[in-house]
Amino acid sequence: MQYEGTGFWVFGGDAIGYHDHGEKLINAWHQGIDLPSVYIAGNNHYDLYKGLSLPIAIVYAVLGSLPLHFLLVNAFVGAMIGLLAYNLTLRLSDRRSALIAATAVAFWPSSILWSTQLLKDMISIALVMLALLSIVNLWKKHSITTQQDRNVLSDVGGWLLLVVAVFGVTYFRNYMGALFVVTVTGVMSLAVLRSVWRRNWRQTILAFGLISCVFGATAAGTDTNINLLYWLSPRNPEVGHVKLGLAYEAGTVIKQSRVFLWDMDDDSKAVASYLRAIELNQEYAPAYRQLGLALLKKGQLQVAVQSFENYLLLEEDPELIRSLQSILSTKGLVLSETPTFTDVRLPAIGLEPKESIGGVVGDIVKNVGILPNRSWPEHISNLRQAITSTGGSSVVDAQQIFNHLWDVIAFMPRALLIAFLAPFPWEVLFGGKTAGLQPLAVPDNLLIICLLPALALAYWQRLRRFQPDEWFLLAFVLVTAVAHGLVMANAGTLFRLRLQFLIPAIVLAATALPSVIAGVFALFGRSNSNFLPR
């Protein structure tokens, strides 16, 4: 089941990317350079430190660069999700239901499957469950009208835990933070209206506090100014880049990753390292000196002279001047007697990366030159098209287009069905390049079908009375499921992502499952007291 002896399963393609970039971060720390971005398209750096690469790099730094080390962390987090499910269910129902929820979550087939992958699903799900538990716990603890002795540190810790959890959810998957904002704002706005009507100011303040914390944590999680790559980089990375350039020229740099930004020889990589050092600190003289020497070797004489002149403006080096004059005289070049500082940039030496814009957005940019303003239905359609373009045999409703809001509303029931039950049986039974993996979803789908009556009963029981924390949980499961069904046309990817709303749905179903089982036993005139002891 392993891939190239590195601990990857064959279908863990994303895991290979996370591992590669994690190793790049480790090497950057060892070399003393700023932490690298994952991709460059045009002149834009995409610093995807919000993915799993940074946590993986931290684990690798402690335990060693082996994927199986982080899988141990994933397995531990998967076990913690079961404990979070137990505690969340215990606040909604009794201990019997909590044990059912914890057991179901701990042994849920796809949960076990994805915890064995070098992916961020387990961490994301754990943070979602922690955020849900924090909101439910804060409401049940602080919405009561009777004054009780409370530990101030515990109260502050509860709010901080909520902020950290929502920030973490948004940090790894921005759209999940947006769904938290939508559901909390919607339900807690109703709570505000009811509490104002009843003059229950405690609940009014609590509802506003929950909205503010979730909104603030989500905004922080999407803030591009919060750059962990910058904070965790060395204080003087330009020094490391010059050392790295010298290592490239000496041929002592070991290949770090399967994916390189450019397909360049070592001398060109050295030039790129010196240029990065200059970009970080334009007054770092050794970078100009080494850049000039490297460019002389490559025959880029004019830019080499400019780099040397910049160096001599920063440092006095008579010996270098004498050497350069003798070398340049044979090439018909001379150093300026009154040099001026020249901004040496990447395009000047022909190493600028090619612009790469693809997919639906790329076609629009190439045709009209600008990105048009789209309505929400059109935006959803474009996201679906981008996902559909990845291919595979599990694409659901590939031709579905949303032109108007009513198109989206009409598709919502089917989106809910897709979210919970895709891939469908006919996709599992018939061919396709990923058909061999589709049977992995069968145990999940069978269990979901068995739990649907309990989930429906749980919704019915809680919708009959307005408890803001419970309504929030109901809304979160429903809104998140519909959002995934609307956008995620690839059922294979949805099979992995749906755990983010499926595990909270299991918690809700567990609260009503004893009643459903009791009803089934009653149909046959038997008691279920021995089957589900309290």
Q: How many Cβ atoms from other residues are within 10 Å of residue 499's Cβ?
A: 24
At residue 227's C-alpha, the angle toward residues 226 and 230, to 5°, is 140
Q: Is 134 exposed, middle or buried (0-12, 13-18, 19+ CB in 10 A)?
A: buried
pLDDT in the model for residue 210: 95
Question: Rounded CA gap, 410 and 391, in Å?
Answer: 25
Residue 119 CB burial class (10 angstroms; 0-12, 13-18, ≥19)? buried
pLDDT in tens, the chain (534 residues): 344 555 555 455 677 778 888 888 888 888 888 877 654 444 454 554 456 788 888 888 888 888 888 888 988 999 999 999 999 999 999 999 999 999 999 999 988 888 888 888 899 999 999 999 999 999 998 877 555 556 777 888 889 999 999 999 998 888 999 999 999 999 999 999 999 998 888 899 999 999 999 999 999 888 655 666 667 778 888 899 898 888 888 877 655 443 344 456 777 888 888 888 888 888 898 998 898 888 888 877 778 888 888 888 888 888 877 787 777 777 777 777 666 777 765 444 444 443 433 443 344 334 444 444 567 777 787 778 777 776 556 778 777 888 888 888 999 999 999 999 887 776 666 554 444 566 778 889 999 999 999 999 999 999 998 999 999 999 999 999 999 999 888 887 888 899 999 999 999 999 999 988 888 877 776 665 555 555
Residue 387 has a pLDDT of: 74
Query: Cβ–Cβ contacts within 10 Å for residue 187, how many?
Result: 25
> CB atoms < 10 A from the CB of 391, how many?
12
Q: Return d(Cα 204, Cα 194) in angstroms, integer.
A: 9
**Which helix (H) or strand (E) segment is 184 a member of?**
helix 174-197
* Structure token pair of residue 199: 């003059």
pLDDT of residue 435: 46
What are 60's two structure tokens? 């690798």
Q: If one looks up domain 237-349 in CATH, what number appears?
A: 1.25.40.10
Domain boundaries, the chain: 237-349, 357-534
Residue 302, number of CB atoms within 10 A of its CB: 12
